[in-house]
Every structure is written in structure tokens, then in C-alpha cells.
């Protein structure tokens, strides 16, 4: 080998070594989905300021986590409930409102979705049933999210769910399809108006506790 080919070899090896450290650069179609999702949101304190076309790498946007090798969007952390507020008005300014666009379901690799502590579409609007098509989800937190009404039975299609927090979103019965979530390890249904409250726990929930 002559010296120039050794240089090339060393260079290629250094380049290969640097590969695992490369940062995720988001997938354009997933970025467009996030921008559509943002369009339907109300964000009074502009927490999603980083979500715009000028910051092309959506993996660095607020609340977003991508896979470090495939760059697919894996997690959305959009909770507003970790903050202590003295008054309702300050809380409202911090929280997200508006509508959850069904385009969210285009994020086929999303496994973690936290929308807790917001005020989506407020009174009288139940959890959107399209969430039941997001079958990659393992963690879903919709607690205190402003939704209120029937728990859509489609939630029972989220067969990979391990964690499901539905505090303060439900009025009605617990759909028996929840019993199909065989991987579920955490389920919180407190602060709901569930029919049959004070009566026996539905048998399918008991079976899950075994
Ligand atoms: C990717 O992230 C995982 C944790 O999610 C970590 O264990 C792994 O080392 C990371 N890989 C690279 C190449 O950075
Ligand atoms: C993006 O960049 C353009 C041109 O620099 C600027 O006019 C525009 O206001 C920027 N938009 C945002 C959302 O920052
Ligand atoms: C999801 O669940 C609903 C109600 O439980 C059911 O009717 C529907 O066929 C399911 N959809 C898929 C894609 O499995
Ligand atoms: C709960 O649902 C029932 C039956 O649909 C309805 O009559 C009641 O007003 C609801 N409760 C609240 C607090 O919205
Ligand atoms: C839920 O489980 C029952 C059996 O326990 C099964 O008959 C039904 O098809 C399942 N539904 C879904 C949506 O997987």
C-alpha cells in the first residue's frame, strides 16, 4: 500500500467511527405532519415556537424525540400538568387548547404520547376515536386533557399499550375492549364519572389485575 491509500483508509475508518454519533435529522413527511398538527392547536404562550419551517430538524423541536438511528419520530411530550400555577388564568396561558388533528395518526412509529393537563376542545368532547389506530403506542397519557365523555372502544385496539392514564376524561362506562390490552401494566381511571361506580369492578379489569 502506498501512503495515500493509507490516508484514505484512516479517513474512512474515522468517518465510520463518527457514524454512530451523527444526529437524527427528521423525516420530512413527519415534519409536515407535526406542522399540520400544530395548525389546529391553540398555544397561547407560544411554547411551540421551535415548530416552524426555519428549523428543519424537527427532532430538535420542543417535546419531540426521534429514534437516534432511523430518525423516526418516537415520542411527543406535550403535557402541561407538571407545572404548579397559582391561578387558572396562568395555567390556561401555559396549556394547549384547540383540536387534535387526525393527521397525528400518520406518525406510524410514535410510541409515547403525553397530552395531559391541556384543554383540548373542552366540555362535551370525548377522546377522539382515531387515537385507536395509533397501534405503535406503548404509553398514552390523556389525563386532565379537557376531553370529557365516553371512552372510545377503539382504545382497545392499542394492543402495545403498557401505560394508559385516563384520569378525569370519562363519563360513562369503561369499554370492555380495554380488557384486550394484554400488555397493560398501568391503568388510571380515577376522577371519572363511571357508571356503576361504587359497584363491583368490571370482571375484565379484575382478570387484568391477575
Ligand atoms: C440510541 O439511544 C439509546 C437509548 O434510547 C441508547 O441506548 C443508544 O446507545 C443510542 N445509540 C446511539 C448510536 O447513540
Ligand atoms: C423564517 O425565516 C424567514 C426568512 O428569514 C422569516 O421571514 C420568517 O419570519 C421566519 N419564520 C419564523 C416562523 O421564524
Ligand atoms: C378497533 O376497535 C373497534 C371497536 O372496538 C372495532 O370496531 C374496529 O374494527 C377496530 N379497528 C381495527 C383497525 O382493528
Ligand atoms: C354524563 O353522561 C350522562 C349520560 O350521557 C349525561 O346525562 C351527564 O350530563 C354527563 N355528565 C356530565 C357531568 O357531563
Ligand atoms: C378482544 O378480545 C376478545 C376476546 O376476549 C375478542 O373476541 C375480540 O375480537 C377482541 N377484540 C379486538 C378488537 O381485538
172: in domain: yes
101: in domain: yes
- Tens of pLDDT, residue by residue over 179-201, are 999 999 999 998 888 875 444 45
pLDDT in the model for residue 132:
97
Q: What is the four-CA torsion angle of 128, 129, 130, 131, rounded to 10 degrees?
A: 80
Model-level pTM? 0.82
28: in domain: yes
Ligand 5 lined by 157 (C-beta under 6 Å): yes
- Tens of pLDDT, residue by residue over 27-70, are 999 999 999 999 999 999 999 999 999 999 999 999 999 999 99
Ligand 4 lined by 157 (C-beta under 6 Å): no
Please give the distance, rounded to the nearest whole angstrom, from the Cα atom of residue 55 to the centre of ligand 2.
10
Ligand 4 lined by 171 (C-beta under 6 Å): yes
How far is the C-alpha of 130 from the C-alpha of 174, rounded, in Å? 18
47: in domain: yes
8: in domain: no
Smallest CA separation from ligand 2 atom 7, residue: 54
- Tens of pLDDT, residue by residue over 146-177, are 999 999 999 999 999 999 999 999 988 889 99
Please give the distance, rounded to the nearest whole angstrom, from the Cα atom of residue 26 to the centre of ligand 5.
36
195: in domain: yes
Nearest partner of 137 among 119, 114, 117, 118, judged by Cα: 114
Instruction: Return the CATH number at 32.
Output: 3.80.10.10
167: in domain: yes
Ligand lying nearest the CA atom of residue 54: 2
The domain containing residue 126 runs over which residues?
Answer: 21-207
Total domains in the fold of the chain: 1
> Mean per-residue pLDDT for 136-149?
94
Please give the distance, rounded to the nearest whole angstrom, from the Cα atom of residue 115 to the centre of ligand 2.
28
43: in domain: yes
Amino acid at each position: 500500500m502506498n501512503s495515500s491509500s493509507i490516508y484514505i483508509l484512516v479517513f474512512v475508518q474515522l468517518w465510520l467511527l463518527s457514524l454512530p454519533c451523527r444526529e437524527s435529522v427528521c423525516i420530512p413527511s413527519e415534519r409536515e405532519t407535526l406542522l399540520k398538527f400544530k395548525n389546529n392547536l391553540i398555544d397561547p404562550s407560544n411554547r411551540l415556537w421551535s415548530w416552524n419551517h426555519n428549523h428543519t430538524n424537527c427532532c430538535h423541536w420542543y417535546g419531540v424525540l426521534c429514534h437516534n438511528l432511523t430518525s423516526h419520530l418516537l415520542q411527543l411530550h406535550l403535557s402541561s400538568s407538571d407545572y404548579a400555577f397559582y391561578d387558572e388564568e396562568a395555567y390556561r396561558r401555559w396549556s394547549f387548547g384547540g383540536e387534535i388533528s387526525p393527521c397525528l395518526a400518520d406518525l406510524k412509529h410514535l410510541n409515547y404520547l403525553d397530552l395531559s393537563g391541556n384543554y383540548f376542545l373542552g366540555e362535551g368532547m370525548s377522546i377522539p376515536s382515531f387515537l385507536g389506530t395509533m397501534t405503535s403506542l406503548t404509553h398514552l397519557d390523556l389525563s386532565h386533557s379537557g376531553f370529557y365523555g365516553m371512552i372510545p372502544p377503539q382504545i382497545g385496539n392499542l394492543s402495545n399499550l403498557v401505560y394508559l392514564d385516563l384520569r378525569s376524561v370519562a363519563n360513562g362506562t369503561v369499554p370492555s375492549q380495554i380488557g384486550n390490552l394484554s400488555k397493560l401494566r398501568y391503568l388510571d381511571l380515577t376522577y371519572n364519572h363511571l357508571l356503576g361506580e361504587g359497584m363491583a369492578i368490571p370482571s375484565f379489569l379484575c382478570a387484568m389485575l391477575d
